[in-house]
Amino acid sequence: MDYEPWGYYASYVIGAEWIDENEALVVTTKRGMEEIDFLAMFMTCFSSNLSADAFSQIYTIDSDAPVIYAPSLKGIISPLIVLHFLAVVSRIKSLKKGYVHYSGNLKKVKGRINVIRNERTNMAIKRFDRVFCEYDEYTVDIPENKLIKKALLFCKQILRTVIEHHKDGSKVKQMLLKSLLMFERVSEDVQVREVTQIKAHKLFNEYSEAVR
């Protein structure tokens, strides 16, 4: 503005951002406000009826930018991301299902027989009690659910200290346990590259945000 000198102003925001390619700006809490309970504030936001898109008005993280070394912000970002994730997952009412391709050496024929693999694995050694098959199964054990399950278990590790010492710890613990129970029939064996694109579906609005 014409009547103000050019520069950076802290306002009511904390965080870190790159000014240019070589220097970053880190803004911490104002003097006298160091004891503000950020986790309680975020818990209030995430437990409300805000839409998933509205969370981006509370905070943003540029995951594509280089990491900024900011010890003064240690202990704030990780719990925040975890709480955001738990809040989104807790809104999932039912798990998505999809067809997953399996292959294995079975006692009974299922799907179709992989003739070449069966000859090498069984016929060549006269193992006639097994058949190597390939088949599709409609299941909740799809890559999206696996990734969310793996992240929930990771959250469990991060939140141990928060759950034990924070006043909202029991509420967070309950959110986590409830989500883990919903995903109990889902494995955690997944690579991020397996979840390349999530198709939007009005019945599963939370999935895209949770996977992101």
What CA–CA distance (Å, rounded) separates 25 from 17? 5
The helix or strand, by DSSP H or E, that contains position 102, with its residue range, turns out to be: strand 98-106
140 with 97: CB under 8 angstroms? yes
pLDDT tens column, 126-181? 888 899 999 999 999 998 899 999 999 999 888 877 766 777 777 888 889 999 99
Higher pLDDT: 3 or 60? It is 60
Q: How high is the pLDDT of residue 48?
A: 67
Q: How high is the pLDDT of residue 90?
A: 87
- Range with the poorest average pLDDT among 7-16, 98-107, 109-118: 7-16
Q: Tell me which residue of 2, 4, 3, 27 sits closest to 16, measured CA to CA.
A: 27
Percent of the chain, pLDDT > 70?
A: 84
Q: How high is the pLDDT of residue 43?
A: 75
Higher pLDDT: 49 or 89? It is 89
pLDDT tens column, 12-37? 778 888 988 889 998 887 777 767 77
What CA–CA distance (Å, rounded) separates 165 from 162? 5
Q: How high is the pLDDT of residue 74?
A: 74
Which pTM was predicted?
A: 0.73
Give start and end residues of each alpha helix (H) in 90-133.
115-121
Q: How high is the pLDDT of residue 206?
A: 79
Phi first, then psi, for residue 193 (nearest 5°) are -65, -20
What CA–CA distance (Å, rounded) separates 11 from 156? 34
The helix or strand, by DSSP H or E, that contains position 18, with its residue range, turns out to be: strand 15-18
Q: How high is the pLDDT of residue 18?
A: 92
Give residue 110's identity as a one-letter amino acid code: K
Q: How high is the pLDDT of residue 145?
A: 92
185 with 118: CB under 8 angstroms? no
